[in-house]
């Protein structure tokens, strides 16, 4: 029970919590960068995407005239990442690049151009 509870807590905290706790060195990089988060999902606790992307923030981070790097964990159907890119483009950034840690080798429902791929 303890292990399952901890897994649930860890899952619910997400990447933002991890970077807040463990990302101290990242924040010490002497570059003019701002780290921000946007939470979106199309899976909603299921194994397959619903195709409907839900954003958990009411407002976008201020990205006007900035160079943006979107970092995503897994590129699967493409629904979520495509919606994030489209939403950020409405805020008029200077540029948008996409990095995914894992790109599943499969036919995507939405085409997403990635600039950097881990695996």
Q: Alpha-carbon distance 55 to 49, whole Å?
A: 14
Q: Which residues are catalytic?
A: 76
β-bridge pairing 40-41 and 54-55: antiparallel
Topology given in CATH for the domain delimited by 36-117:
Rossmann fold (3.40.50)
Asked if 65 and 95 count as a contact pair (C-beta separation under 8 A), the reply is no
For residue 5, the model assigns a pLDDT of 44
Decide if pLDDT at 11 tops 60: no
pLDDT, tens digit, 9 for 90 and up, residues 21-60: 555 666 677 878 787 888 887 766 666 666 788 888 778 8
Q: Alpha-carbon distance 21 to 11, whole Å?
A: 15
Q: Alpha-carbon distance 46 to 80, whole Å?
A: 14
Residue of higher predicted confidence among 98 and 12? 98
């Amino acid at each position: 029970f303890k292990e399952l509870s901890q897994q649930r807590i860890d899952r619910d905290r997400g990447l933002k919590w991890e970077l807040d706790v463990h990302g101290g060195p990242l924040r010490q990089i002497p570059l003019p960068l701002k780290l921000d988060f946007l939470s979106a999902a199309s899976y909603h606790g299921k194994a397959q995407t619903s195709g409907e992307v839900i954003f958990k923030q009411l407002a976008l981070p201020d990205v006007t005239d900035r160079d943006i790097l979107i970092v995503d964990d897994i590129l699967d159907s493409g629904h979520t990442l495509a919606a994030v890119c489209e939403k950020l483009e409405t805020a008029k950034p200077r540029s948008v690049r996409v990095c995914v840690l894992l790109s599943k080798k499969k036919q995507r429902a939405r085409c997403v151009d990635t600039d950097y791929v881990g695996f």
